[in-house]
Copies of this chain bind each other. A is one copy, B any other.
Amino acid sequence: MRFKVSQTLFFAAATLVLWTPGYSAERPGLLLSPADVEFIRQFRHESPAFSRVLEETATELDLYFETAPDVPEPVDAGGGYSHETHKRNGIAIHDAGIVYQLTGDETDARNAARLLLSYAEMYPGLGNHPQSRGSNPGRLFWQNLNESVWLTYAIQGFDAIQDTLSTAERDRVVSNLLRPMADFLSEGSPGTFDRIHNHGTWAVAAVGMTGYALDDEDYVRKALYGLTGEGDSGFIRQIDLLFSPDGYYSEGPYYQRYAMMPFLLFARSIEANDPELKIFEHREGILLKAIYACVDLSYAGLFFPLNDAIKDKGLDTVELRYGIAMAYALTGDSTLLSIAGLQSSYVLNGDGFRLARARDQGETSPFDYRSRMFRDGPEGRQGALAVLRSGDFSNEQALVLKATSQGMGHGHFDKLGLLFYDNGNEILTDYGAARFLNVEQKNGGRYLPENETWAKQTVAHNTLVVDETSHFSGRLSIAEQSHPEILFFDSTDEVQIASASMEDAYEDTSFNRTVALLDDLATDNPVMIDVLHASSSSEHQYDLPVHFNGHIVDTSHSLEPRISNLRPLGEANGYQHLWLRASTEVPAGENFSVTWLTENRFYTYTVAAQHDMEVFITELGANDPLFNLRREQALVFRVDSASSNWFVSVFEPHGEYNGSEEYTLNSAGLIEDVRFLREGASDVLGIRTGDGSQSILALSLDSDETTSHTVSLEGRPYSWNGFYAFFGEEFAEERELRD
């Protein structure tokens, strides 16, 4: 089929009548083409890795079909037997079809056919699934989302084997299964199908791919342009609205990965069937940008767990296996081969084969991780996610400043939240989602109540909490009305810096935050600087939670520990889940610091107290009757009552603990003193290390490069133009001259 865009609205559904076996020369016609099949069959020996995946898949299929697979009555929610069995069956139909194409083994074609026929027998009799909740019921599954996913797999399997079916068999599968399901997912579920949302993308992909496989342009048209065909919904509109110009998906990387899958599957099908749509060039190649964004939004192979996110998801997922293969096939970018090296398998199509062969032939080069800003919003005007990286590789330092829009219903109330990674580990952490995906005992595998009471709340994140309430009072409808503004972003050899402001997360308190990675301090590793400024017309309690992963080894101030009676830190908005383990008071003007050990490296977090400050050490787990939460730790820095407050923090990774070789280096940090002062409109941060060297970071928060700023320290003026200046070594030398 060559689908003509201009004729979208004028096509009749008559093409089906014209379908003839002769058409099969173009089958399969979704993600795998006859040319791919020919190419793989001819050159398969050139990629042992791809061959191995193909053979393993074939072996698994033999095992799977050893006895006829069960096609049970749909009764269970996610994680339950019928749910998981149908999922596996859908994938088996897909795999069997593909393996048949690539190996020519007709047993696989028959296995796929038999399973499709079983479903064709059951499907017409299904009403809404008994476990359905809310407005998106499925039939085979508890929600129609899973049904769309199932169909994108099954339709590929069908497409790969349809030429092997008798006319009667094909009719049964088409009339009793594929069309009823595609109809149900489109006209039968308009609320999902026409929604600009990842559930909608799955629906249009399933229906659109079915359209291509059945040569039914009506399905394709609806999928591309919505049920009305007018383009205010459907796939093209989704591409335009769901990604920012930098390829960022507003729900965050975890759902970006998930959302990518139908975009990729359907786009590749469109490319094969309607190449003149130039779908991969749409919006300056936005789909490719989105694939690259997924890689950039990961650390050590796992996604930044922003918003609702299951933390074990990352680049080694089926979505990214499709994505990386597709991106490599389209661009030939050999740095993507290093990402494939993090993946445990290859997709069984032409793209996957090209990727595997290139890796097997040693063409891999390292992915170029670097500091980047990902603007949010369809036009890139709804804040941004700033990613600062130090070092060339994925497992060196990464600092993430979350200044994005809310990200729909899966968004967390964590404006200007911060994440920090080092040495292969998440160090300043984000809880992600409170959910045990597919674990039926845990609320049927769905989101847990604690996702609302804890994971989404502001205190569950590394950002400002005013008066123990969450941003936007924790209300989505309010949160969706505003977003942070990026003030500045820069990346040089010695300083990487990002700054953003949030005006209306609270009724009368605004705050801004500037974070930087400084490479040139007299320390073992780059150091993180964090200046968070809150201001209000009235007095408030300001809390800065710092969630950390590690074992405390030291604190600057002696603690008042709670050793025989633990109470929650607060009553609501997430505070009710924090046990108060210890506290201390830090007078204004002093530094408080805490050192912890994470794996084989030490970390020292130092805060300069502007006002008298309380420090709480907390542990997650209060008001958690069903053990739904992980045991994690947080510091909470609190200023009781102030109309404005600066939280100024310096965070230093240092030293080495080597348990196996029995030595320890630099278990104490090298930073000895952190001073902060506000002069005129400028902030000045001074850091002194143990060897006596001092560094200064000066911030004007004014990005105009032509404006000059001056502050005076110890009677000596420091001048700079623009947003910031870093006085490092030069300053130290100056100081020595004066000594």
Q: How far is the CB of A601 from chain B (nearest CB, A)?
A: 12
Question: Which residues of B are found within 8 Å of A662, using beta-carbon distances?
Answer: 437-438
Stretch at the interface among A323-331, A520-528, A559-567: A559-567
Which residues, 620 to 634 on A, are CB-close (under 8 Å) to B? 621-627, 630-631
Question: Which residues of B are found within 8 Å of A281, using beta-carbon distances?
Answer: none
Q: How far is the CB of A147 from chain B (nearest CB, A)?
A: 15
Whether B664 and A595, one on each chain, are in contact in the complex, defined by CB atoms closer than 8 angstroms, is no
A631, B438: Cα distance in complex, Å: 27
Stretch at the interface among A133-141, A267-275, A396-404, A653-661: A653-661
Question: Which residues of B are found within 8 Å of A621, using beta-carbon distances?
Answer: 581, 619
Decide yes or no whether A441 CB sits under 8 A from chain B: yes
Question: Which residues of B are found within 8 Å of A43, using beta-carbon distances?
Answer: none
Contact with B along A550-565 (1 / 0, CB 8 A): 0111100001010111
Q: How far is the CB of A19 from chain B (nearest CB, A)?
A: 35
A427, B301: Cα distance in complex, Å: 26
A318, B659: Cα distance in complex, Å: 11
Partner of A441, one of B564, B566, B667: B667
Whether A551 and B630, one on each chain, are in contact in the complex, defined by CB atoms closer than 8 angstroms, is yes
A663, B78: Cα distance in complex, Å: 9
A662, B659: Cα distance in complex, Å: 35
Whether A668 and B441, one on each chain, are in contact in the complex, defined by CB atoms closer than 8 angstroms, is yes
Which residues, 350 to 401 on A, are CB-close (under 8 Å) to B? none
Q: How far is the CB of A487 from chain B (nearest CB, A)?
A: 37
Whether B551 and A664, one on each chain, are in contact in the complex, defined by CB atoms closer than 8 angstroms, is no
Contact with B along A2-18 (1 / 0, CB 8 A): 00000000000000000
Known contacts: A566-B579, A624-B563, A625-B559. The answer to whether A310 contacts B438 by CB under 8 A is: no
Whether B316 and A553, one on each chain, are in contact in the complex, defined by CB atoms closer than 8 angstroms, is no
Known contacts: A552-B627, A559-B625, A627-B551. The answer to whether A664 contacts B565 by CB under 8 A is: no
Q: How far is the CB of A294 from chain B (nearest CB, A)?
A: 14
Known contacts: A563-B622, A631-B619. The answer to whether A659 contacts B437 by CB under 8 A is: yes
Decide yes or no whether A505 CB sits under 8 A from chain B: no
A623, B562: Cα distance in complex, Å: 8
Q: How far is the CB of A261 from chain B (nearest CB, A)?
A: 11
Which residues, 569 to 614 on A, are CB-close (under 8 Å) to B? 576, 579, 581-582, 595, 597
A88, B624: Cα distance in complex, Å: 48
Partner of A659, one of B313, B441, B552, B657: B313
A579, B622: Cα distance in complex, Å: 12
Q: How far is the CB of A299 from chain B (nearest CB, A)?
A: 16
Question: Which residues of B are found within 8 Å of A582, using beta-carbon distances?
Answer: 625, 627
Q: How far is the CB of A577 from chain B (nearest CB, A)?
A: 9
Whether B659 and A310, one on each chain, are in contact in the complex, defined by CB atoms closer than 8 angstroms, is yes
Decide yes or no whether A179 CB sits under 8 A from chain B: no
Which residues, 311 to 343 on A, are CB-close (under 8 Å) to B? 312-314, 316-318
Partner of A664, one of B313, B440, B665: B440
Question: Which residues of B are found within 8 Å of A442, using beta-carbon distances?
Answer: 553
Q: A-side interface residues toward B, CB under 8 Å?
A: 79, 84, 87-88, 310, 312-314, 316-318, 436-442, 445, 551-554, 559, 561, 563-568, 576, 579, 581-582, 595, 597, 617, 619, 621-627, 630-631, 657, 659-665, 667-668
What 15 new A-B contacts, CB under 8 Å, besides A438-B663, A441-B554, A563-B625? Answer: A84-B663, A88-B663, A312-B660, A313-B660, A437-B659, A437-B662, A438-B664, A440-B667, A551-B627, A551-B630, A552-B627, A564-B623, A565-B567, A619-B621, A619-B631
